[in-house]
Chains A and B, each alone.
Chain A
Amino acid sequence: MAATSSRGLVRMLVYGILTFVFYWGLVTYSEEISHLSLTTPDTCVVAQGPETGVYHKPEAEACQAKGGTMQDGNWMHVLAPIVIAFVISFSHGAFTGLFWEVVGLKAKK
């Protein structure tokens, strides 16, 4: 019994650390991830001070007037949210399941 619960605790910690690392990456590379998503379709990218404005449905003339650059979209960027969602859901799902188990909260039988 004790061996089972300590194994559960170790697994919870492993998944917990893994989940923490994924979330750390998500927050650290937040700007890059956003930019990847926003630039999946064709865009007009305009530097606005320290920030970057991304315009969808770009028109060459309007983009030029704003001093922006026309950028071709890349459908492969679609994979980014899907892979991130799958990986984090798997790791975080396993962690929370084990967390409530270790805490001892169970459904009434």
Chain B
Amino acid sequence: MELVQFIPLDINNALLLIVVGFVGGMVSGFIGSGGAFVLTPAMMSLGVPGIVAVASNMCHKFPKALVGTIKRHKYGQVDLKLGLIMGVFAEAGVLTGKHFMSGIKHDFGAVGTDLYVSVIFIVTLAIVGTYVLKDYRKLKAGGGESTEVPKLARWVQSVHIPGTMVWSEGAKAHISLVFIAPVAFATGMLAATIAVGGFIGVPAMIYLFGLPAIMASATELMIAFVMGLGGTIFYALEGVVDVRLAMLILLGSLFGVQLGAIGTTYVKDYQVKLVMATIMLIALFSRFFYIPGYLSKLGLIEAMDEGTLKMLKLGGDIVLGIALVLGAVIVLTSLIKGIREHKASQIPSPGVGMQD
């Protein structure tokens, strides 16, 4: 038997969740990706078990993803057919990922899921963070985003396997299910593990399938909705979705996400990439502080005393706090500075005014 507890909803926890949601939302609106990569570890820092944090995050994301899909579909940015097909395979990935997570919870308890989520977080954020940092350097050096179809995508589009070809409106090409299915499955697996599937889905759609970046991120929203809804149902059947947490995170994040999205229109592309990489790498670093505690509780290393565990947890909380505060400060200062500069540029000089 496993005792399952949701954290008490006292005023301190509620306020912290709202603030974390606000900052996480602001960062996610600014960098254009789901904020779960800061929200999931932040929830875990508040004492929420890994499996409940992931499940509740999926629950907070899917209605937002639906609204985003509808909005961006109006601008013609969503590849509906590809999104739907990927959604189906991603759902299989979510189911498998959830099954795996439940197995860990059953065999090792909630601490087992904490360790599992943390390790996958570190690996994923290290890969994605490093890649984004490289992208930042390229963009800053004046490389710019290439509009050409990547070489790998051209090869994928050239592979013709009868009976498996799917027309992608976004890529303007046929793509075989042989490529679509594993990518979508992996996206779902990652979503069910750390609540962020877009780290696989978006780059794969750009570099493997040849979709323009704007269509890839819009189509990912549709996949995120399908995965989020499915994930919420699967995890809710296990009784681990804490909708109170999800909604308190949402309370802050809906304000933050719009502020962050407005902020991006006032800054340069490479600045956004730098913020993304910095926050990812700091959030990654914070997880290292918690791992000894998990290993100790699982009996995988020598038992550590309470004082040391508390100090390590405090260290992790501080590092994660730095990531969140840094994210908030960068977004807000960019927004304020950008608005000032924009307003200054809008004031016509006296001479120009006379001519009008």
The residues of A with any CB-CB pair to B shorter than 8 Å are 23, 26-27, 30, 33-34, 37-41, 43-44, 53-59, 62-63, 73, 75, 77-78, 80-82, 84-86, 88-90, 92-93, 96-97, 99-100, 105-108
Tell me which residues across on chain B come within 8 A of A62, comparing CB atoms: 1
Q: Enumerate the 4 nearest inter-chain pairs by beta-carbon distance, A residue then B residue, closest first.
A: A89-B63, A81-B243, A108-B265, A55-B1
B1 touches A57 (CB 8 A): yes
With contacts A27-B9, A59-B1 taken as known, whether A96 is within 8 angstroms of B255 at the C-beta atoms is yes
Tell me which residues across on chain A come within 8 A of B251, comparing CB atoms: 23, 92
Q: How far is the CA of A54 from the CA of B2 in the complex (A)?
A: 8
B262 touches A56 (CB 8 A): no
- Can you report 20 A-B residue pairs in the complex whose CB atoms are below 8 A from each other? A26-B244, A27-B9, A33-B243, A34-B242, A37-B239, A37-B240, A37-B242, A40-B238, A54-B5, A54-B239, A77-B236, A81-B59, A81-B232, A82-B229, A85-B246, A85-B250, A96-B258, A100-B262, A106-B262, A108-B342
Chain B nearest CB: distance from A14 CB in Å? 17
The residues of B with any CB-CB pair to A shorter than 8 Å are 1-6, 9, 14, 59-60, 62-64, 67, 106, 229, 232-233, 236-244, 246-247, 250-251, 254-255, 258-259, 261-262, 265-266, 338, 342
With contacts A55-B3, A100-B258, A108-B342 taken as known, whether A78 is within 8 angstroms of B106 at the C-beta atoms is no
Q: How far is the CA of A37 from the CA of B60 in the complex (A)?
A: 15
Tell me which residues across on chain B come within 8 A of A58, comparing CB atoms: 1
- Beyond A34-B244, A40-B238, A100-B259, 18 additional contacts (C-beta under 8 Å) are A23-B247, A33-B244, A37-B243, A38-B4, A53-B5, A54-B5, A57-B2, A57-B106, A59-B1, A73-B239, A78-B237, A80-B236, A80-B243, A82-B233, A88-B247, A89-B64, A99-B255, A108-B266
A55 touches B14 (CB 8 A): no
Q: How far is the CA of A44 from the CA of B262 in the complex (A)?
A: 49
Q: How far is the CA of A105 from the CA of B339 in the complex (A)?
A: 9
A82 touches B236 (CB 8 A): yes
Q: How far is the CA of A17 from the CA of B241 in the complex (A)?
A: 26
The secondary structure that dominates the A interface is helix
Q: How far is the CA of A34 from the CA of B237 in the complex (A)?
A: 14
Q: How far is the CA of A105 from the CA of B263 in the complex (A)?
A: 10
The listed residue with most A CB atoms (<10 A of its CB), out of B233, B238, B241, is B241
